Amino acid sequence: MTTATRPVPGTDTSGPASPYQSYVYAYPHKTAYRKLPDRPRLDALWAAEPKDALSLYLHIPFCEVRCGFCNLFTRIGAPDGLTGAYLDALERQASAVREALGEREPVRFATAAFGGGTPTFLTAAELERLCDIAEHRMGADLRAVPLSVEASPATATADRLEVLAARGTTRLSLGVQSFDDTEARAAVRPQRRADVEAALARVRDAGIPVLNIDLIYGIDGQTERSWLRSLDAALAWHPEELYLYPLYIRPLTGLGRRAGGTDPAWDAQRLRLYRLGRDHLLAHGYEQQSMRMFRRADAPPQGADDYACQTDGMIGLGCGARSYTAALHYSFDYAVGMHEIRGIIDDYVSRPAADFAHAEYGRRIDADEARRRHLLQSLLQAEGLRTDDYRARFDGRTPADDFGAELSRFAARGWLAGDGTDSTLLRLTPEGLAHSDAIGPELFSPAVRAAMAAYERK
Ligand code: SF4
């Protein structure tokens, strides 16, 4: 499940002045990927890549309902046999990918995650199989690395959680969004608070070390009071992590059908609720990691948070997952509309193993894009970007050499601590962090921007 979260960059309908342009959780976005005419072989793509600290991601594209704000690659429900056929295909893909990684040097996974969709849409027995695929086909040692799993309240059942805990899950992320039943309905995610509380109790009973709760602000009818009530309801569970997501309305989603144009009043409401939420969590012993992420100061350390996205070397399995080498990001076809998604999933489950030895859709990452990606994904973290890391990675260049104009603009708006020329650390101010969703898109390259604009939504 999840994270109500991962909006599509460049697709919101607000004007350029809005702090809410798009959530840049990965760069470049999949709407900048294109069919790769040469269908490169994975063994060639991975031959020269370091393989001793890869990330593994398994994508399960099924949910019980489609939340009104969600544009993730997922379908509602699954006809008889589809989840089994999907796991069969996942197994074929895992075997093909593992073979492509080769045996010449050790392959080691440093983190693992099951995302979606809602991984816990699978039954307990199917989750066992999912873990088997990660362990036996890919060689990931799930009990030895951080393993993060997304779940919805209705599917976080005791039997599934028991499997996940036993197989080594270190972090369970529950998409709650709101503890207020009326707000949950307004976000087109009907659920009752009593059911959410019961799910949280089951997660705590399962003994998974890190509980993350996702909440959304900016819902129709949400007030400062009701927002604080949701925050306090979440805090009562002492979650190790909390993600606070601004609501986005995106094309082709349930809420998107009612989308209007820009809405300064809504922007102001979201900014107000953001500041309120941030200050509330800071006052309750949480540390801010990024605009959305807060971690309890005494929580056990985790390796697999959104900062890990910055590293190269990601193996994604499943039809909505991306994989990253240093020079190519790739995946399968992408869609948001339900009909198209169903078609892509049906196509995925019908593929023979040989198909999975190639990359089909993707985007090449040249030196400029690699620098942008590093800047973007470091700068949007509260701890900022260390310029010596940047220098070491990019031949002695500095962020100011490559992005001086952008950094001066951010500094002039009060978003950057100092004047943007600090020689050791580039860090956003609190207002800069609040405007993360405007800063990210401003750092997209002209080529990525053009590809995203030319992408035909489906
Ligand atoms: S539709 Fe599924 S993936 Fe999207 S937010 Fe809801 S539970 Fe998460």
Question: What CATH number has the domain bearing residue 410?
Answer: 1.10.10.920
Residue 335 above 90 pLDDT?
Answer: no
- Do 299 and 397 reside in the same domain of the chain? no
328 lies in some domain: no
For ligand 1, whether the C-beta of 7 sits within 6 Å is no
Pocket test for ligand 1, best of 25, 60, 67, 174 (most atoms within 8 A of CB): 67
- Do 420 and 284 reside in the same domain of the chain? no
**Integer-rounded Cα radius of gyration of the chain:** 21
- Collect all residues with Cβ–Cβ distance below 8 Å to 412 and sequence separation of at least 6: none
- Do 295 and 437 reside in the same domain of the chain? no
State CA 277 to chain mean position distance. Answer: 21
- Out of 259, 282, 309, a domain closes at 309
User: What is the rounded average pLDDT of the residues 393-417?
Assistant: 93
Total number of domains in the chain? 2
Peptide bond into 28 cis (omega under 30): yes
Question: 42 CA to middle of ligand 1, Å?
Answer: 30
Look up the domain containing 372 and give its range. 367-454
Q: How far apart are CA 281 and CA 227, in angstroms?
A: 12
330 lies in some domain: no
For ligand 1, whether the C-beta of 71 sits within 6 Å is no
Distances (CA, A) of 411 to 140, 328, 375, 404, 431: 43, 32, 15, 10, 11
For ligand 1, whether the C-beta of 70 sits within 6 Å is yes
pLDDT at residue number 112: 97
Give me the chain's average pLDDT, please: 90
Residue 372 in contact with residue 445, Cβ under 8 Å? yes
Pocket test for ligand 1, best of 23, 66, 176 (most atoms within 8 A of CB): 66
pLDDT at residue number 430: 96
pLDDT digits (tens, 9 = 90+) for 245-300: 999 887 666 666 555 567 888 999 999 999 999 999 999 999 999 999 999 999 98
CATH number at residue 108: 3.30.750.200
For ligand 1, whether the C-beta of 269 sits within 6 Å is no
Residue length of the chain: 458
Residue 261 has phi, psi (to 5 degrees) of: -100, -140
323 lies in some domain: no
